[in-house]
Amino acid sequence: MEFTLVPRHLRGNGGQLLSSPIPPAFYGDRRLRRFQFSTFPKNSSSQIQNNLHSMSSSVLMPSSTRCEVSSASTFQEVSDLADINWDNIAFSPLPADFMYVAKSLEDGIFMKGELQRFGPIPMSPCAGILNYGQGLFEGMKAYRKADGSILLFRPEENALRMRIGAERMCMRAPTVEHFVDAVKQTVLANKRWVPPPGKGALYIRPLLMGSGPVLGLAPAPEYTFIIFASPVGNYFKEGLAPLNLIIDTEMHRAIPGGTGGIKAIGNYSPVLKAQAIAKNKGYSDVLYLDSVHKKYVEEVSSCNVFVVKDNIISTPEIKGTILPGITRKSVIEVARRQGFQVEERLVDVEELLSADEVFCTGTAVVVSPVGSITYLEKRVEYGNKGVGIVAQQLYSALTGIQTGLTKDTMGWTMVVD
């Protein structure tokens, strides 16, 4: 993929932006440093240098060449890292410079997308996402190695999960190849926002939305695929310190036959009330039980749960109400390689309370140990309030692969270049 820096006034109607440039005030004190943008037409070796301060009236536009950013990109960073305090980043929005946008055509095929400055997008009040919640999202991270290279972790799994979710929601979705290539483009364009080794990660948020207008209940006629990114630190303020969870016996995250098994946008706001009540009481988050028997463990608000007893690791089976987490899947494979017996099955709440260790997994939380669980006003503590041995072992093994500190014998990482 090659990019040309195209002034806004030179673009035709075919290159209209979905978003407006962000006012300089939006970025606060974040200083934009110089990048080099080069374009190499087949019979030309011209090179253009620009300062990103002028990007308020410019966008990156794809050239006519085929979209293969991983092998043909001429987008090269010549700057230092973004000028922020990397020791103080949280898991909160700090939007990187560019976002990727693509729209579906009438036949459902997505046209080649483009990189645009991060900013607002116009949307019809009749859009399917606004009226009927027809939308999906994914979450993934990019890590910087000590040699400066950048790694993605199993991006094709996110692409497949989005396609499965789209089928359930009657949505059109980009191909796996399109998804992965778009993620690479987004990371390369925002390379300076990938934290230094050990300081966090660049969180990548792909969104698929029903952007076409509807009034009656029906699938949207058009879909928009967006990817934006933000540097992040720990999801929970505790970091790797143990979490304190409370089991909610009245509210439920998902029901059989619903959409709990996909990453639908509408799955998450219903847990906000229970989560807010729990946090006001001093808990880290909420653990939910099944909605039928009200005794089988399902998930925390945004992550999967594992229970350790002796040398056996158990986790609730995927049966339509539990999200098939990519970190969950990876932890299971790593644990089995390390000699643990891993069982995917129904996990009774009483079994949870008598476990040796409990931990959570997810893209945002990675592997987070649980220090205590409160159920019906009874508090059970694990590992003397410390990080469990198994959780620590799996955390070290998984993050070693994700960050490139250990050899990836699983073939899970992908270098962005």
Active site members: 263
The 10 Å CB-count burial string (b at 16+, else e) for 245-257 is bbbbeeebbbeee
Q: How many Å apart are CA 46 and CA 55, to the nearest integer?
A: 20
User: In terms of residues, how long is the chain?
Assistant: 417
Q: At what angle do helices 155-168 and 326-337 cross, to 10 degrees?
A: 130
**Strands laid side by side in the 75-76 sheet:** 47-50, 35-38, 75-76
Nearest Cα to Cα of residue 162 among 177, 150, 148, 141 = 177
* CB 144 within 8 Å of CB 200: no
Count how many Cα atoms sit within 13 Å of the Cα of residue 341 in the half-sphere of its side chain: 5
Tokens 């140990």 belong to 369
Alpha-carbon gap, residue 166 to 290, rounded angstroms: 24
Report the sign of the C-alpha dihedral through residues 182, 183, 184, 187, in that order. positive
245: its two tokens = 């969870």
Contact 213, 221 (CB under 8 A): yes
Give residue for tokens 């099955």.
345
Helix (H) or strand (E) holding 241, with range, is none
Give phi and psi for 289, each to the nearest 5. -100, 170
- DSSP letter at 23 equals P
Instruction: Mention every residue, 6+ apart, whose C-beta is less than 8 A from residue 266.
Output: 133, 135, 259
